[in-house]
Amino acid sequence: MTSTVRTYLTRLLPQLIALTIIIVAISMIFPGFLNLKIQNDRLYGSLIDILNRGAPVVLLAIGMTVVIATKGIDLSVGAVMAICGAVSASLITSGHSLAETLLVTLAIGILCGIWNGILVAVLDIQPIIATLVLMVAGRGIAQLITEGAILTFNDPGLIFIGSGSFAGLPMPVVIWLLFGILVALVVRRTALGMLVEAVGVNREASTLSGVFTPVLLIAAYVLSGLCAAIAGVIAAADIKGADANNAGLWLELDAILAVVVGGTSLLGGRFSIAASVLGAIIIQAINTGILLSGFPPEFNLIIKAAIIVFILVLQSPRFRAAFTFVSIPRAAGKPTEREAK
């Protein structure tokens, strides 16, 4: 058992190091960063903001990880978020109950996933092209639903999903934590995860060895669509309105980045959901840190890019080789960042 924990930690080490460095750096620039207090019955502070604001990208990254593990990619998640936000807002404003609204919205997300999955698995279209269709068309569909305006709503139940709290944590955080654990259990406590990896490494070989590939592929895109639907509801509930033009805009790229920062290869195969979640939190920590630092906005993207490059270098096999080389002679004690350089 301890060895499993150790392998797990070794796998997550680069991400954990990166996150620690970022958090330490931000708290040096902005001393109040680590402060937490209870306000309105929930924890309140910058660290909680990171977990809360990161919710959409974390959710998208969970679905994206599985899709990428099958050697695919899902560019449509941002647009699916916009569609699902629009659907939930228009249903709740036209007087449907919260349960109906959520069920229909999640069903729409699943439907979007099935569409992508069929294009990829049955029609054999390259994933980047297949999902591009919905990425472009989806935002149009969302705009049709909201008629181009921001559709606002006042239903306390739906708003609770975006800004309520449970057990001292904001609802979005509770949702992604539970959902992430659920997905991780389903793929790792069954053979599903291994089959997904097999398809990602060699689709043909997997099919020949009896894996029913089309269903598995469609399921991966369905999971991604479902994640996008949940993220879309959270994003809409957060601002009490569905903004078809901006909801989820460019978030597919952040989700892919989160998976990459999490160390899952875009070429498919081995994946780690926990690492992708950490990747998404790292990205959000950078965003929040930049906002707190008070730099002029012109620098936002430059700082973000520099930090991401640093993290990717940290994970590169060559850097890791140098890292092991330095650390082996001092087997005892954890090598620090400076020694690694």
Partner 1 sequence: MKFVKALASATILAACTFGSASAADLVVGFSQIGSESGWRAAETTLTKQQAEQRGIDLKFADAQQKQENQIKAIRSFIAQGVNAILLAPVVATGWDEVLQEAKDAEIPVILLDRTVDAPKELYLTAVTSDLVHEGNVAGKWLVDTVAGKPCNVVELQGTTGSSPAIDRKKGFEAALAGKDNLKIVRSQTGDFTRTKGKEVMESFLKAEDGGKNICALYAHNDDMAVGAIQAIKEAGLKPGKDILVVSIDAVPDIFQAMAAGEANATVELTPNMAGPAFDVLATYLKDGKEPEKWIQTESKLYTQADDPMKVYEEKKGLGY
For residue 325, what are the contacts with CB-CB under 8 A and spacing of at least 6? none
| Listed ranges 88-96, 118-126, 188-196, 232-240: which one lies at the site for partner 1 (CB under 8 A) | 232-240
Which residues, numbered 124-143, are part of the site for partner 1 (CB under 8 A)? 143
Q: What would the x/- binding string for partner 1 be over residues 46 to 65, using CB under 8 A?
A: x--x---x------------
Handedness of CA 286, 132, 64, 57 (dihedral sign): positive
296 is an interface residue for partner 1 by CB under 8 A: yes
Q: Give how far Cα 89 sits from Cα of 94, 162, 241, 243, Å.
A: 9, 13, 7, 10
Closer residue to partner 1, CB minimum distance, 149 or 208: 149
Closer residue to partner 1, CB minimum distance, 81 or 112: 81
Q: How far is the CB of 19 from partner 1 (least distance, A)?
A: 18
Report the candidate in 253, 257, 263 with the shortest Cα–Cα distance to residue 316.
Answer: 263
Cβ–Cβ < 8 Å for 31, 160: no
252 is an interface residue for partner 1 by CB under 8 A: no
| Listed ranges 206-214, 287-295, 305-313, 316-324: which one lies at the site for partner 1 (CB under 8 A) | 287-295
| Listed ranges 43-51, 63-71, 215-223, 270-278: which one lies at the site for partner 1 (CB under 8 A) | 43-51
Total site size for partner 1, rule CB under 8 A: 34
241 is an interface residue for partner 1 by CB under 8 A: yes
Residue 212 burial class via C-beta count within 10 angstroms: exposed 0-12, middle 13-18, buried 19 and up: exposed
Closer residue to partner 1, CB minimum distance, 174 or 314: 174
95 is an interface residue for partner 1 by CB under 8 A: no
Q: How far is the CB of 142 from partner 1 (least distance, A)?
A: 13
| Listed ranges 37-45, 66-74, 88-96, 205-213: which one lies at the site for partner 1 (CB under 8 A) | 37-45
Q: Using CB under 8 A as the criterion, which residues of the chain lie in contact with partner 1 when the complex forms?
A: 30, 32, 39-40, 44-46, 49, 53, 143, 147-150, 152, 163, 235, 238-241, 243, 245-247, 287-288, 291-292, 294, 296-298, 300
